[in-house]
Structure 1
């Protein structure tokens, strides 16, 4: 079922991509472009999300630590 869904989504994505780029291709090439593009794009997005997740986690940790220091200085240690 997943392979069929990948082919359908790949055909749609390939069709849209070939129209955006102004290419006229046959249906098999269009599907191949879409499926390979989906695999490449999915991998690229996973890498971006992983790197972004690490960066946002680090930023959150720094903000949390700064808040904790501020809270300690303001309310605990007087």
Structure 2
């Protein structure tokens, strides 16, 4: 099922990409371009999400540590 989904998405992506770029290709080439684009784009998006997730995690960790420091300071005084 995932392969069929990839082919369908690839065909649609290839069709749209060839229309946006004003390039004429055969059906097989259009699907192959779309599948390759879907794979490359999917990896790029996952990399960006991981990177942004790591940054968000770091921000959350710093904020959490600041709260802990604030609580410790309040308990000491």
How high is the TM-score relative to the length of structure 1? Answer: 0.87
Give the unaligned 5+ runs of structure 2.
none
Matches within 5 A, 1:9-20: 9-20=9-20
Residue number in structure 2 paired with 1:55: 55
Number of the residue aligned with 1:28: 28
CA distance in 2, matches of 1:10, 1:17: 10
Consecutive unaligned residues in structure 1, runs of 5 or more: none
Number of corresponding residues = 77
Which aligned segments of 4 or more residues in structure 1 are displaced greater than 3 angstroms? Answer: none
**Distance of 1:54 and 1:65 partners within structure 2:** 16
| Partner SS state of residue 24, structure 1 | coil
Cα separation, 2, equivalents of 1:13 and 1:2:
16
CA distance in 2 between partners of 1:22 and 1:73 (Å):
64
- 1:44 is matched with 44
Name the structure 2 match of 1:77: 76
- Supply the distance in 2 between the matched residues of 1:5 and 1:70 (Cα, whole angstroms): 51
